[in-house]
Amino acid sequence: MDYITLKEASEKWGISTRQINYYCIEGRIPGAVKMATIWLIPKDAKKPIDMRTRQGKGLQHE
């Protein structure tokens, strides 16, 4: 399986590396693994829905 780093995912998804780090810690990115101090994210992983937005909050109530 091919992996990308937090920085690469940040550029791909248009969000900060810190936010992606939170997603990894919470287990919201399936297949993400931590090797020593680096998170590795599957290349084909989808961007998690941000629950802080209206769209995310709407999905939370379904």
Report the predicted TM-score, pTM, of the whole model to 2 decimal places.
Answer: 0.77
Confidence (pLDDT) at 61:
47
Nearest to 19 by CA among 6, 32, 8: 6
Amino acid at site 60: Q
pLDDT grade for 53, boundaries at 50, 70 and 90: low
Cα 60 to chain centroid, rounded: 18
- Walk across the sheet containing 3-4 and list its strands: 3-4, 38-42, 33-35
Say yes or no to pLDDT of 60 above 80: no
- How confident is the model over 15-27, as a mean pLDDT? 94
pLDDT of residue 59: 60
Across 24-28, 47-51, 52-56, the highest mean pLDDT is recorded for: 24-28
Instruction: Single out the residue of 26, 21, 23 nearest to residue 37, CA to CA.
Output: 21
